[in-house]
Amino acid sequence: MSLKVTFPDGQIKEFAQAQTALEIAKSISSKLAKKALAAKIGVAGEEKIVDLALPLEGDLQLQILTFDDEEGKKVFWHSSAHIMAQAIKRLFPDTQFGIGPAIKEGFYYDVDSSHVFVPEDMEAIQQEMLKIAKENLPFQRQELPRAEALSFFTERGEGYKQILINDLPEDAVISTYTQGDFTDLCRGPHLPTTGLIKAAAVLSFAGAYWRGDAKNKMLQRIYAITFPDKKELDAYLFRIEEAKKRDHRKLGAELGLFTFVDEGPGFPIFLPNGIVLRNQLEAYWRELHTKAGYVEIRTPVILNRSLWERSGHWDHYKENMYFTQIDGEDYAIKPMNCPGGILAYKHNMHSYRELPMRVGEIGLVHRHELSGALHGLMRVRAFWQDDAHIFMLPEQIKQEIIGVINLIDTVYKQFGFSYYVELSTMPEDHAGDEAVWEEATQALREAMQSINMPYQLNEGDGAFYGPKLDFHLTDSIGRTWQCGTIQLDFVMPERFDMTYIGEDNQKHRPVMIHRTCFGSIERFIGILTEHYAGAFPLWLSPVQARILTITEHQNDYAQSVAEQLRGAGLRVETDLRNEKIGYKIREARNLKTPYILVIGAKEAEAGALAVRKRGSEESTVMPVADFIAQAEAEAKDRGQIF
């Protein structure tokens, strides 16, 4: 049968007979064929990922997947999980296997073994995996009737595979993949051969209940990662080590930013240095929003149950909320600011001439997170959200979305972040009619297209009241974080009977945007701490300069200099201890101080300072007034020189 292939760039290629995806890749270029891992095909609007060896026929769309594609990485890492299982089976023959999926970075396999895995086993498993890779074993797919597959794994004592097969329908056709002496239950797809894996690292061991149920047996979970090039593995391991050094929980304690206590798990306590940092962030936020035409409000933390029922949070978000009773009535602690913002809008009647209204709120919200999900400032139970709600005419939607995108872009560029955008569409658990959802989703698409901003589609992950654009920023070591969001909402204005008086003197329904830039201020501080490794730019640094004296004879002069710097609005600390100057400098450097100002007898006599910038071993002697002018200009500019 003939084959007609449409490629992602729109080009079409026809073949007189069926071809495998690998053969098609070879017909395009030998380089592509060498990098090919799997194929994504589309037929009649439905897409699926298949093995390169699968014969293709008919009329279809085709994309050859490589390690540069997310789907390609998943195939690579899931195939690697099979290789790791094979290596473990060779080394520890009595091992049984649960599941071994690809994850965001790498993969894991849950195993049941009499051997208790310890760090010393990592090297042996890695070496056996690389040995299997060098054997260049083909991944061979086989399809079996359910009964035959069950018999196959029963004979091999694979109890967990039997459970998985028994969960499938009686008439199910079961697929297995074999490489060399190892066969695993799997629907695929997989790499053509094991030889594409060139580098491997076993990362860690953990415990995991079978199927995540504490009533089941505890298995051993082995995490690992592989790459098609050793340089990529080296870069990944470097990034992991960097991430450990940058851990915001460790730096937060060392720099006096915040702490957590047993009396309030998930409820951070901000210390003086942390308050300085967040005050600087909030001042920057207010300055930007004032320029962009926003006004600011503050709404109550606790509001009556009836409000949350009307908003839909009671039905769609109740399990994440905290509750209390006041005067015999049910109240909820707000998990989101939007219902309070709506009440503020409804306080007055509004004219179309007032719209759009851009209303900001840095509001405290509480959300019930499971204790196991808590993680420093990245996942907490109480946080301040830099919210804003825009109330507008339907014809203002595109203009306002573009305005918010530009504002978020300004914020992220200020901190040196790049980012990508995801469009999240209607979830199963949603409020409002599907037609309204489609209208809102299309409005977001059109706004993005009008400014030529690319986006990724995230089906079914919108808020329960509307589709959204999520901004995923990339930090200095390549990790991504979801922070900003723009949610377009036709549902809440209807539920709360929000109106404005139009040109025709009649009441009309406004449209609403929910949006954040930082997201959670707590989380953003955690991200910034790791992004900068605690070495914040001057304008954000809780302590901008430390004055160190060589002997106690310079203490009076040091105090007078500190007063001058504070008078100029700079944040300064003095170290007048009777310690060696080298020790003082090392300590100031460990505290990530932007400027270390050393005063000895010569500096005191000349009315000067020996100024050392963070990251430099050299110091420059300058008059106090010159340093103040330099530091003031740098802080005002919010520069990123470090």
Catalytic residues: 338, 367, 385, 387, 389, 468, 514
Using alpha carbons only, how large is the chain's radius of gyration in Å? Answer: 30
Q: With the CA atoms of 55, 61, 66 and 70 taken in that order, what torsion angle do they form, in degrees rounded to the nearest 10?
A: -120
Q: With the CA atoms of 27, 31, 35 and 40 taken in that order, what torsion angle do they form, in degrees rounded to the nearest 10?
A: -30
Nearest to 335 by CA among 380, 375, 389, 372: 380
For residue 251, what is the enclosing H or E element?
helix 248-254
105 near 212, Cβ under 8 Å? Answer: no
- Length of the chain counted residue by residue: 642
Residue whose pair of structure tokens reads 């507008």 in the numeric block: 392
CA distance from start to end of the chain: 63
Which residues, at least 6 apart from 347, have a Cβ–Cβ distance to it below 8 Å? Answer: none
Nearest to 69 by CA among 102, 24, 28: 102
Question: Distance of CA 553 to CAs 539, 603, 612, 619, Å?
Answer: 31, 12, 21, 21
5 near 24, Cβ under 8 Å? Answer: yes
Q: Specify the long-range contacts of residues 214-222, CB closer than 8 Å, at least 24 apart.
A: 217/112, 219/98, 219/110, 219/111, 219/112, 220/110, 220/111, 220/112, 220/113, 220/116, 220/117, 221/108, 221/109, 221/110, 221/111, 222/84, 222/88, 222/108, 222/109, 222/111, 222/117, 222/125
282 near 381, Cβ under 8 Å? Answer: no
Alpha helices in 265-393 (DSSP H): 272-291, 305-311, 313-316, 338-346
